[in-house]
Structure 1
Amino acid sequence: MTTLVDSNRGKSSRGDWAMQSNQVISERRGPPQDPLTASIIEDLLAASERLSAAGRHREGAAPAEEVLALPGVTPVQQARAREMLALHRLRLGDYQASVQNGLLALEYLTSSGDLLRQSKVHCTLALAYTDTGLTEQALGHAVPALETARACGSQLAEFWALTRASTVHGAMGDTVRGVDLGRQALALSRTLDDTEARFIAVNNLGDSFLEAARAQRAAECDASLALREGLVLFREAVAMAHAQGHNFFETIALTNLVSILIELNEHDEAREKAHRCKDLARANGFRNLEVNVDAQLAEVVRAEGNLEEATAMMDAQLADPSIDEDPALQIRLHQALYEMHKQRRRFEQALVHCEKLGTLSLQRITQTAGLQSQLLINTLEVEQARHEVERSQLAAEVQRIRAEELDDQAHTDPLTHLPNRRALDRELPRLMDRARDLSQPLCAAMIDFDNFKRVNDAYGHAIGDQVLTTMAQMLRAVTRETDLAVRVGGEEFLLVFGDTDLDQAAQACERLLASVRDYAWNGVAAGLTCTVSAGLADLRPAERVSHWLERADSALYAAKNRGRDQVVTAEN
């Protein structure tokens, strides 16, 4: 089986990411960036994206790395650079760097709410983890890739997410789910004006059917239906690529068509298509695909029963230095040669290939395990760094809340929960400045319970405290956001009325006195009655706050002297 490959490498993948993100990421506030620096960075990022679209990933990684090395790079520019590096490094086989950059890009993209780019990075990470056998981690990115794609409303993003999810489920051995997701991707691709997406959907679904068929045969089940469906799709993929004049895609599709024809024992057509594929690969310099076709031709010869010819062909391939960087092909060849020599009872030769097969398999397992371990370590390090940041932010928030609580306690009366004298010292200047700036009147009313000592003496301090807290509720009822109600001490309170003249303030005080007088104090204590007196003064131009409040206090004493339970306005 040959899946889609990157033209400059020969590593397996299932197609290049073709979508471009159009969503604008809002930058966090920071020092303004120099216009020249900003222009240089944008040019580098654009170059990295163009080279990615052209499949020139080694060249494309350089400008992205340069962006990260520049001073003054904004968070959104860092995220874009890392997003590109994650893809470039994936295509170059540097999975460790791909995952690290992808996770770091995802941190910012998640916080900024850029769903389209999140989906793109999730797809890249899903492929990186799949290629290294970490299918559980791959699935952890395939699912949010699809969720974010659907949330942002991009059908192209949804297509790529479905394609990646199909790949992940196939790698996990869930061929049924892989085929189902592939069908969804194909149906969606037919609604898009994107020939590349349509080809990839057809080719990859065919590959899913081929994998499903092989799994069915391994389980001794009938695989004919899956093979026939895959055959139809691969024929369609070849025709599509040929019509588009896309030689690379046509070579890929032909390779897959040959694989399924071999499974169907259609040897003559498999040989004819393999030669056509080899000619196309040689003409376009696709050396890795040409070598793969040679292995397929040997498989055709073997399937026809010509073991000697097949053995000679495979021996020739193993002697070709060009396959040294393709351990998967080497393993396939040694496995086939081991089986053929054993079948012909050439046990010494079979043992040579068996030992070589074991060595290569162990090397591959060791390399994969080491890479998996490093990827998991890197993933944990990124997660740990994120948790450290979150813990620091949480600790700072706890400190802030605690500071606010302490500040609130310092400026709040513990009994009535009204602001205290300290709060008055902080808030009153602000109210006075506002009144003067807007040329609005400001009035202060000093309010004091009448004969409050008798309440404490007759009913006790607990009842006295209830009376004071009830009074606080009444004061809150008559104050607005522009007003201030303060307990200045004992049974004395201060009301400051914003944007209120003397007549209006006097009416408000009269209503307050009536509320106190008419309150059902008997419910607090049998026989209890309460009244209050108020002294009122308006703020004069350029008047000191101490003088203003002294006039209100003098008016309060006048109210007391005149018989209590009344409002007296300070004389001008």
Structure 2
Amino acid sequence: MTGKFATQVCAQEPGIAETAMADIVHAVLSAGEFALFAEFGQQLQLRSGDYLFHSGQAGGTMYVIVSGSIELDFGEDLVVKTLGPQEFFGELGLLIGDHPRSADARATVDSVVLELGHDQFQRLVDHDPGLVAYFLRRTIMRVVSNEQVLIRQLRRRNHDLEAALDNLYVTTHQLTHTRELVRTDELTGLHNRRGLALYLQECRSTDHGAPQGLLLIDCDQFKQVNDEHGHQAGDRVLQSVANILRSVATEDDRACRLGGDEFCLLLRHADRDSLHHAAEFVLSAVQGLLGRATAHPNICPVSIGACLLEPHTDWSEWYARADNALYQAKRLGGNRLHWSRAATATP
């Protein structure tokens, strides 16, 4: 049948080869086609808002609009099509049979449509096979064109979605980086005072409670390092102290640079022995670096004030007690650990 159709099409439509693709695939029947379809199709009266079919519903008929307009809604963010008189749709249901509809078809105003099932279409083919062959050719080309448009739309949507996800990733990364910069000391990478405050706030909001031990660390003779060897040497000293504290801290602890050459180490879970062990480790690591002869110093002695923490008190009291112990360590010559008086009685 296809060869017969193609021969008659060439005989009846000599200008097809030169017809623009847009004209070939346009879903409007010619006057001759419309008259032929009207002769064999069954008229349906639709009120505004009536549905012919819904997306996903199997169908085996096609439709031609006589009057009014039909809206095809393909869902999601695809373009809604509105068809008018002499335009046709649903032809895949007729040609394939029980084909799932790809859109909702709804009358936007009172309308009249022609419905053609398999039997009506077969009589139409028997009556004028040449005209039907031309219609089928246009229909196939229109289906291909529509699929290509749909593919382009989906590709563009996927591209837009990928771009949006990339932007979201970049924004999230920037926010995370910004948040870390806000709470992190730029020179040492330890938490700064704001990071410490956020850590204490997080402690209060969890079931683990407040930290239990505090070491307050201050560099001895740090001004002398800066004066004699320059600020770059001073920076190296601060970074070395930070590395030592970082190696002592567990995931639950927090090492911070409070400012200048003053540091602290908050231990989430501690008793006198574990806090003493952490302080001795810091002093031992410092002594180990001091024993390495270098042209420019990368460490200096440190003094440490230690105290165990009472959960019902706050940071200001913790700091005051540790700072008093630190002062005593400095007064005794530095390079040592000193406990706050409140902690000495703790077993």
Say whether the fold is shared (TM-score over 0.5): yes
Q: Is the contact between residue 509 and residue 534 of structure 1 (CA under 8 Å) also seen in structure 2?
A: yes
C-alpha change, 1:523 and 1:374, in structure 2 (3 Å) is farther
Q: Is the contact between residue 521 and residue 529 of structure 1 (CA under 8 Å) also seen in structure 2?
A: no
Measured after TM superposition, the shift of residue 439 of structure 1 is 6.7
Partner of 1:539: 309
C-alpha change, 1:362 and 1:432, in structure 2 (3 Å) is closer
Distance 1:387 1:92 in 2: 36
Q: Is the contact between residue 536 and residue 567 of structure 1 (CA under 8 Å) also seen in structure 2?
A: yes
Distance 1:411 1:518 in 2: 30
Q: Is the contact between residue 441 and residue 538 of structure 1 (CA under 8 Å) also seen in structure 2?
A: no
Task: Decide which of 479, 483, 489 is 2:259's aligned counterpart.
Answer: 489
In the superposition, the TM-score normalised over structure 1's length comes to: 0.39
Task: Decide which of 129, 149, 165 is 1:393's aligned counterpart.
Answer: 165
Distance 1:541 1:101 in 2: 59
Ranges in structure 1 where 5+ consecutive residues have no aligned partner: 2-61, 66-81, 105-126, 132-286, 292-320, 332-355
Partner of 1:283: none
Q: Describe the SS at the equivalent of 1:401.
A: helix
Measured after TM superposition, the shift of residue 431 of structure 1 is 2.7
Partner of 1:323: 122
Does residue 88 in structure 1 map to residue 58 in structure 2? yes
Task: Decide which of 306, 309, 323 is 1:553's aligned counterpart.
Answer: 323
Q: Is the contact between residue 441 and residue 501 of structure 1 (CA under 8 Å) also seen in structure 2?
A: no
Q: CA RMSD in A?
A: 3.7
Distance 1:541 1:370 in 2: 76
Distance 2:306 2:158 in 1: 58
Partner of 2:221: 451
Partner of 1:470: 240
Task: Decide which of 181, 198, 202 is 1:426's aligned counterpart.
Answer: 198
Measured after TM superposition, the shift of residue 566 of structure 1 is 0.8
Q: Describe the SS at the equivalent of 2:341.
A: coil
Q: Is the contact between residue 539 and residue 548 of structure 1 (CA under 8 Å) also seen in structure 2?
A: yes
C-alpha change, 1:477 and 1:393, in structure 2 (3 Å) is same
Greater relative contact order structure (CA < 8 Å, 6+ sep): 2
Q: Which structure has greater strand proportion?
A: 2
Distance 1:556 1:471 in 2: 16
Q: Is the contact between residue 513 and residue 566 of structure 1 (CA under 8 Å) also seen in structure 2?
A: yes
Q: Is the contact between residue 418 and residue 487 of structure 1 (CA under 8 Å) also seen in structure 2?
A: yes
Q: Describe the SS at the equivalent of 2:213.
A: strand
Q: Is the contact between residue 229 and residue 296 of structure 2 (CA under 8 Å) also seen in structure 1?
A: no
Distance 1:416 1:546 in 2: 24
Ranges in structure 2 where 5+ consecutive residues have no aligned partner: 2-50, 64-70, 79-91, 97-116, 343-347
Measured after TM superposition, the shift of residue 93 of structure 1 is 6.8
Q: Describe the SS at the equivalent of 1:519.
A: helix
Q: Which structure has greater helix proportion?
A: 1
Distance 1:368 1:548 in 2: 82
Measured after TM superposition, the shift of residue 361 of structure 1 is 3.9
Q: Is the contact between residue 124 and residue 132 of structure 2 (CA under 8 Å) also seen in structure 1?
A: no
Q: Is the contact between residue 237 and residue 297 of structure 2 (CA under 8 Å) also seen in structure 1?
A: no
Letter in 1 for 2:122: I
Task: Decide which of 337, 341, 346 is 1:571's aligned counterpart.
Answer: 341
Q: Describe the SS at the equivalent of 1:543.
A: coil
Matched residues, number: 252
C-alpha change, 1:487 and 1:438, in structure 2 (3 Å) is closer
In the superposition, the TM-score normalised over structure 2's length comes to: 0.62
Percent identity, aligned pairs only? 28
